[in-house]
Chains A and B, each alone.
Chain A
Amino acid sequence: MRRSTGLVAAIVVLGIVVAVGLISESQHILTLTIQTMILAALASSWNILGGFAGQISLGHAAFFGIGALVTRELWLGGTALALAIAAAVAITAVAAAIVGVPILRFREIYFAIGTLALGVAVFITAGNLWPGISSLPAEALRNYEFTGPYFVALGVLVAAVVVSLWLKHSKVGLGMMTVRDDEEAAKATGVNAFAHKMIAFVVSASLAALAGSAFAYFSASYFPNFAFSVIWTFEAILVVFIGGLGTIVGPLLGSVFFIVGRDVLPANIGEFQVVLFGLLFMVVVLLLPGGLTEAATRLVTTTGRPSTKTTSDEPTATKGKEPT
């Protein structure tokens, strides 16, 4: 897709989303859209670490959770929302930097399992320290307005997309992708692999915290450890892959598809909707590594030439601009 088409499309979509937020009276639609935006933001954040830098983290929910926790505690305690969110992101970034030093030395599968272990440990700890439910006070519930949370979620998503876009076309981002494709080769050409991974890690964590903040602001009530649950990590990964790993639009497409599929499929199907998602996920991973984005692009292109990617599922970095 050419750059300008993409831009026009993005503006149109943004316009629609904004309009919905201002006009819609349907709680259902507003809720679903907010949830989609939060998931998309989280997925985009994961995509930076997993798609651009190639580090598969299975503990991403930890950052989402910290962001949510700090925002919720501060905000319900009386702090201004903006300040609470800023604090949440800052704290998470610092935590990520500290944790990143040891954990980024792990490679590949060790990194995956290590982050998983970390994520689970944080989840258990959060549940132990904050077992009680966090609910908005009754007055706030009765006077609840969706507009605030809606636009905060939108803002968060826009931030995530903008950061992703900037990274993708920046030298830093290029460095990340080089590391992703072959860490040893990257190091040999003078790229500081560790620094690039760290940047990806911290940026990704910060955006995840931002998404968590949006979640905290939106939710009427939930258990604090829920935001740390491995479910969020899995959903983000699922969404990124279905949408298209390493692309900008992938996480967005994937989230829409996921939420629509999950919450709009009738209850009758019940467990089978999970089965369908699982199957679809497997189909995508096996047959269409580029996800829906690739499918869409292929359908749009009339040539339908076979892909040059045979086995690798990651987009190979090219010098210069990548099509989104």
Chain B
Amino acid sequence: MRHRVLLVVLTVLAMVLAACGSEGDGADTTQPDETPTTATAGETTTTSDEATATTGEPTEVPESVKIGAVVPLTGAFAGGGAQIERGYIYAVDAINEAGGVFVEEFDTELPLELDVRDDASDPNQTTSIMDELAGGDIVAYLGGFATPVHAAGSATAERNGIPYLGAATSTQALHEQGYEYFFSPFPKSPDMAVTVFEMLNGLIPEGERPLRVGIFQEATDWGEELGPLWVQEAENHGYEVVYHETYAPGTTDYTDLILGAQAAEVEALLSLPTPPDGFAIYQQMGELGWKPPFNLVVRAADVPTWNDLGQAGEGVVLSTPWHPALGYPGTEAVNERHLEELERPADPVVGSAYALIEILADAIERAGTLEHDAVRDAIAATDGLSTIIGPITFREDGTAAVPNPQMQRIGGAIELIWPADAATTDLTYPAP
């Protein structure tokens, strides 16, 4: 009997020791199998007792500029989270290799130090991790992937008074809360709704357009936002919505939706599914033997996933935040590294994440200090900064005009089809 008790106690002790053992040093905690961020001087910071200077009094010079990134590395959004993390790491490495960030207050260049934490796609964990990071002298937060975690994160950042940069969230609603610390240079619903129809009008001659529009609206806050916007923009651009149904995320059987759209003779199908729903929808459409000539899926699923889908996913247009073919500065290096490490060109969200670091680094340099409010103001004042996603100027609500390229799956590859001037190939229409 004592043995059993001992076993439990030992297990507990093991856990406690593990916790104590690693909590002491503030070594950077990137995942073990990722390339660790390189600091120019080659050292990892230990404890940092110095408070970030708020009064401008000379304090101990910190060894690095700490950034806290909370990213879903496991769970439902892990696929996108991996892309985000990669973008951050690439950008930090690139900046550090070029010498780091110049902080006027300490009159020296400092390396950026990324502290990436996994919130397991759980907004509750996002919040508590962000609170934990708040006690560790980070300059800013970097967001994860998908609206739920950003919604939680932006509110927490606001409460903690630390600037928060997020990619991979598209609800406009988040920007109408009056937040001062939340910045997201990422395509938002209003712009996205317009882009689809502009693209259709731009790429397809008048008589051949898929004027009958069908919408599979996901029952989430983003779905509720984008769905009606699509309806409105359809009307504005001369299209007609003939089928518009809502479904709960996680549904396994889309028969009724698909048949309904087919009966309504939908020619252009718009949807914004969370993984793996997009998958399931197209697979079942394949089984039922119907696919409209034009298919748009927002929320680009991960490349491996779409590749697995094969014929069913052929010709599907994915609305994404970025594509290497856009050719903004920095793209080549990112693409090269991505090709080396993953044997495919850079994924869509990598660019968006990369840009956030660029923006942050630039803001810190302009602010001249690591103090939260000063950095926040500098970010807000970003004006025409050249980044990997193009020139960035923030609007008052924290959004910015960013590209919203549309890609299409053709012959096993993902090609850029819009904007037309950067397109790698023409739109394949109707879909095969």
- Interface residue B313 (Cβ < 8 Å from any Cβ of A): no
Which residues of chain B are within 8 angstroms of A283 by Cβ–Cβ distance? 7-8, 11
Are A266's CB and B23's CB within 8 A?
yes
In B108-156, the 8 Å CB interface with A consists of 116-118, 122-124, 127-129, 131-132, 134-135, 147-148, 151-152, 154-156
* Chain A interface category by residue count: 35 or more
- Interface residue B29 (Cβ < 8 Å from any Cβ of A): yes
Are B128's CB and A261's CB within 8 A?
no
Are B31's CB and A270's CB within 8 A?
yes
- Interface residue A109 (Cβ < 8 Å from any Cβ of B): no
Cβ-closest chain A residue relative to B134: A27
Are B156's CB and A226's CB within 8 A?
no
Which residues of chain A are within 8 angstroms of B152 by Cβ–Cβ distance? 133, 220-222
Which residues of chain B are within 8 angstroms of A219 by Cβ–Cβ distance? 127
Which residues of chain A are within 8 angstroms of B178 by Cβ–Cβ distance? 137-139
Cβ-closest chain B residue relative to A284: B8
- Interface residue B349 (Cβ < 8 Å from any Cβ of A): no
Which residues of chain A are within 8 angstroms of B122 by Cβ–Cβ distance? 231
Known: A124-B248, A270-B74. A220 touches B19 (CB 8 A): no
Known: A31-B131, A279-B11. A271 touches B1 (CB 8 A): no
Contact with A along B240-267 (1 / 0, CB 8 A): 0000000010000000000000000000
- Interface residue B333 (Cβ < 8 Å from any Cβ of A): no
Known: A133-B221, A222-B152. A263 touches B12 (CB 8 A): no
Cβ-closest chain B residue relative to A140: B159
Are B124's CB and A131's CB within 8 A?
no
Are A288's CB and B224's CB within 8 A?
no
- Interface residue B15 (Cβ < 8 Å from any Cβ of A): yes
Cβ-closest chain B residue relative to A125: B248
- Interface residue A144 (Cβ < 8 Å from any Cβ of B): yes
- Interface residue B233 (Cβ < 8 Å from any Cβ of A): no
- Interface residue B160 (Cβ < 8 Å from any Cβ of A): yes
- Interface residue B300 (Cβ < 8 Å from any Cβ of A): no
Are B4's CB and A287's CB within 8 A?
yes
Cβ-closest chain A residue relative to B152: A221
Are A269's CB and B18's CB within 8 A?
yes
Selected interface stretch from A76-84, A179-187, A291-299: A291-299
- Interface residue B381 (Cβ < 8 Å from any Cβ of A): no
Which residues of chain B are within 8 angstroms of A221 by Cβ–Cβ distance? 123, 127, 151-152, 154-156
- Interface residue A311 (Cβ < 8 Å from any Cβ of B): no
Which residues of chain B are within 8 angstroms of A270 by Cβ–Cβ distance? 31, 73-74, 118
- Interface residue B339 (Cβ < 8 Å from any Cβ of A): no
Are A266's CB and B4's CB within 8 A?
no
Cβ-closest chain B residue relative to A142: B158
**Least Cβ distance of A297 to chain B in Å?**
10
Known: A26-B135, A27-B160, A307-B1. A267 touches B29 (CB 8 A): yes
From the candidates A28, A226, A288, name the one contacting B124 in the complex (CB within 8 A).
A226
Interface centre among A124, A231, A283 (most CB of B within 10 A): A283
- A260 CA to B151 CA, complexed, in Å: 25
Are A268's CB and B132's CB within 8 A?
no
Known: A222-B152, A280-B15. A127 touches B135 (CB 8 A): no
- Interface residue A97 (Cβ < 8 Å from any Cβ of B): no
- A31 CA to B220 CA, complexed, in Å: 28
Which residues of chain B are within 8 angstroms of A95 by Cβ–Cβ distance? none
- Interface residue B179 (Cβ < 8 Å from any Cβ of A): yes
Known: A220-B152, A298-B1. A287 touches B29 (CB 8 A): no
Are A264's CB and B118's CB within 8 A?
no
Are A141's CB and B158's CB within 8 A?
yes
Are A263's CB and B132's CB within 8 A?
yes
Are B159's CB and A142's CB within 8 A?
yes
Are B7's CB and A223's CB within 8 A?
no
**Least Cβ distance of A80 to chain B in Å?**
22
Which residues of chain B are within 8 angstroms of A294 by Cβ–Cβ distance? 5
- A132 CA to B131 CA, complexed, in Å: 23
- A283 CA to B179 CA, complexed, in Å: 47
- A270 CA to B18 CA, complexed, in Å: 12
- Interface residue A135 (Cβ < 8 Å from any Cβ of B): yes
Cβ-closest chain A residue relative to B250: A124
Which residues of chain A are within 8 angstroms of B422 by Cβ–Cβ distance? none
Q: Which residues of B contact A (CB under 8 A)?
A: 1-2, 4-5, 7-9, 11-12, 15, 18-19, 22-23, 29, 31-32, 73-74, 116-118, 122-124, 127-129, 131-132, 134-135, 147-148, 151-152, 154-156, 158-161, 173, 177-180, 219-221, 223-224, 248
Given contact pairs A133-B151, A221-B123, A280-B15, enumerate 16 new A-B contacts (beta carbons under 8 Å): A26-B135, A28-B132, A128-B219, A132-B173, A132-B221, A136-B159, A137-B178, A138-B180, A139-B178, A221-B151, A222-B124, A222-B152, A257-B12, A280-B8, A288-B5, A299-B5
25 A-B residue pairings within 8 Å (CB atoms)? A27-B134, A131-B219, A132-B224, A138-B178, A141-B159, A144-B159, A220-B127, A223-B151, A226-B123, A265-B15, A267-B117, A268-B31, A270-B31, A270-B74, A270-B118, A271-B74, A276-B11, A280-B8, A280-B12, A283-B7, A284-B8, A292-B8, A295-B5, A295-B9, A307-B1
